Amino acid sequence: MQAAVLSSTIESVHVHRDGAIVTRVIEAPALSEARTSRVIGLPILLDDASVRLSVEGSAVAIDLRVALEATSVTDDEPDDRERARLAAEVARLENLLLHVDRLRAMVERTSVYRRPQPQDATPPIEVDVAARLTLLDFRVSEMDRLATERAGVARDLDRAKEDLAVFLDRLARRRGDRAPRPDELRKSAVFTLRPTGAEPAPLRLALSYAVAGARWAPTYALHVDSKNGRARLDVRASISQTTDEDWRDVALVVSSAPLVRPCDLPELTSLRIGRAQPRPKRGWRPAPGDVGVLFEDYRRALRSAPPSAPLPPAARSAPAETGALSEPAHDGPTPVSLQSPEAFAAMAPAMAMPAAAFGGAPGNAPPPRAAPMSMSAAMPMGAAPPPPMPARSSAPLAKARGLRQQSDADALLQEAPPIVEIEPDDRLLSFGSLRLPAPARSSGTLTIAKRDEVYLEASATLDVRLAAKVSVALSAAESKQRAAIGQRPWPQRHRPPSTTEGFDAVYEASARVDIPADGDFHSVPLLSAESPCTLSFVAVPRETSDVFRRAEITSPLEVPLLPGPCDVYTDGSYLLATDVEVVAPHARVSLGLGVDQAIKIARNVWHAEQTAGLMGGSLVLKHHIKIDVVSHKAHPVSIEIRERVPVAAENEEDVRVEIADVKPPWVVWEPPASEPELKGGHAWRVRLEPSQKAELEASYTIRIPAKLELVGGNRRD
């Protein structure tokens, strides 16, 4: 199909967690009449059903199709004289190389014989030394010259063989003898632009399509300014794509939603007991009232077809049992076969006869309808229609009228054929893939075109000879893409995005980015925002003497934060790497910054036991905790020191835990909802100036019967 080729550039890319939607911008010239255009260079693995085209300007786009093109196929026909010339050049260089090898063998056999030694006492024979040296020099120089000449001839021969192989490969591709490789195939969009305005003007088109082979994972970077109490949160995306097209200077949007998600609304139907249920809705339209309109293309093909030979007399006088209508003896209208469109159009009014034709008197209801029948089961695609029904005599009808005195409506009701409802196959709902074959191949039955046939119909470089080989190339491209994705696992600590509680997040990059199609993960910036930051310190001296830093910020973004790794920087220096869990928009974010060596803490515990109660029936276990904290920071700091007190079990009535004295007072500490439950937790919150020391004390007692002992010892620390 000849069409004008329009250039396009990738404007934006919307990356989902399992694919991407690419949007190309096309600049089209002004139109004065309808024109067919083509956009080439699209990826081979794009989803054909996802191709969309929008037009900005005084024009509309119609007849959008996807074709398959081979970038290695040219329009010119290879010349046989060129092939003969290249073959002759290869033969000449092969002969020349053979000649040089023979000369080298002859020169190599040329040698200086040793001077013969006499058998008796006679003096040795005199030898011309200069001639011997000249022969040796000739041998060395000639071998060097022939070696250089052979290397040059070998290079020319390799180049000539490569030119001949390229020409033969080009000839094979042109003739359809060799299937194109996956890297030589590209898809193209073919459409027709029709002007709608009075004054032609340039058009701007947007072509979008979905393609597999793209994935991404969120990453973050937190820059903390401890002096000013500010923090900057950078949201980044690690993107990998193997779509066979580089994304250069594109507007990027990433989403955690899947590329394809079923979004059909449920149909809530009511069940009425004792009443007929309505038929389920189908995604197809019934045949029009004028059924003959459906056969306009078929009649046009019949008129353009050559006239067929007349039937022999034996065929015209065939008996009625064969299913054909016999030719009448009078000069009336010629009967036609029930397979022809005329017969089907003639039968249409009877098939679509309204209920009023059966009589308006009470009790004259239409006959019950037969059960729905699937078209795929009743009439397979591409199969010949059933043979015509034999003609039936009207004698039984006349006899019934004479004997029973029935009305015309009753007779019509008795003789009317049952109405059969046909439910089409779901594949028939793809109207763009339906084809009406030539009259010689079908009697008006629509067939479903194969994917290869649809590609080749609109292709400008491929023909039907490669129809069977295109599927192999497409399968190879899909296998190559799956292998490329499987060989590159996710980076360490990266987690693919997912839907959280039924919601998905969308991030729009603030600047245009470049992402090559090499399959590697590339980190690109998305968003960046600042927020106030509060630095605090947490210590659990019961477990360790280290004091941990913690940064708390309020998320400054309007979108949630998905799980992913986060690099933390403090005052311009890299500090550590941590993980971020799901954070709602404008929610509090708490990140650990590691151990701070400038704050020291020490914990000491004193334990004592004594009896109490009448006759010493109880045992009192006294515990006294003392914690010393000193800060060597240059600015004031806030420290949260956590401590835990034993808690008696609910079913223990003989064990009691009492908190005696706490200096300064503490508060009950409960872990976040995402952490395991903890009982008996308390925390001090103190503020220390530079070089200030604080002392924290707490006392509690455990009262148990004297005859019992705590598991693991009576001392709890």
For 653-697, what is each residue's pLDDT tens digit?
888 888 888 999 999 998 887 778 888 899 999 998 988 899 999
Mean pLDDT in the chain? Answer: 77
pLDDT at 341: 43
pLDDT at 360: 38
Q: Is the dihedral of CA 302, 307, 310, 311 positive or negative?
A: negative
Beta-strand ranges (E) seen in 480-636 are 506-508, 513-515, 522-539, 547-554, 564-570, 573-580, 588-595, 599-612, 618-631
CA distance 196 to 75: 34
CA distance 655 to 700: 13
Bridging pattern class, strands 35-42 and 4-5? parallel
152 contact partners, CB below 8 Å, separation of at least 6: none
pLDDT above 70 (res 441):
no
pLDDT at 154: 92
Between these two residues, 172 and 487, which has the higher pLDDT value? 487
Average pLDDT over residues 361-388: 40
544 three-state secondary structure: coil
Average pLDDT over residues 209-220: 92
pLDDT at 502: 82
Amino acid identity at 457: E
Average pLDDT over residues 51-59: 89
Instruction: Label residue 571 left, alpha or beta by phi (over 0 means left) and psi (-120 to 50 means alpha).
Output: left
Whole-model pTM: value is 0.64
3-state secondary structure 645-708: CCCCCCCCCCCEEEEEEEECCCEECCCCCCCCCCCCEEEEEEEECCCCEEEEEEEEEEEEECCC
CA distance 575 to 589: 18
Instruction: Calculate the CA dihedral of residues 466, 467, 469, 472 and round it to 10 degrees.
Output: 150
Measured between alpha carbons, how far is residue 694 from residues 112, 233, 689 in Å? 105, 34, 10
Q: Give the model confidence (pLDDT) of 696-707 as tens digits.
A: 999 999 888 887
pLDDT at 628: 93
pLDDT above 90 (res 279):
no
Average pLDDT over residues 508-530: 91
Least confident of 138-147, 217-226, 266-275: 266-275
For residue 313, say if its preceding peptide bond is cis, omega within 30 degrees of 0.
no
- pLDDT above 90 coverage of the chain, percent: 24
Least confident of 372-386, 418-432, 686-700: 372-386
pLDDT above 80 (res 170):
no
CA distance 236 to 220: 6
pLDDT at 369: 41
Amino acid identity at 586: H
Q: Give the model confidence (pLDDT) of 448-477 as tens digits.
A: 877 777 777 777 776 656 656 677 777 777
Greatest mean pLDDT among 197-201, 245-249, 444-448: 245-249
pLDDT above 50 (res 315):
no
Give the residue extent of every domain in the chain.
76-111+136-179, 214-248+488-595, 599-705
- pLDDT above 70 coverage of the chain, percent: 72
pLDDT band at 148 (very low <50, low <70, confident <90, very high): very high
Q: Give the model confidence (pLDDT) of 580-603 as tens digits.
A: 888 888 888 888 888 888 899 999
H/E stretch holding 153: helix 129-175
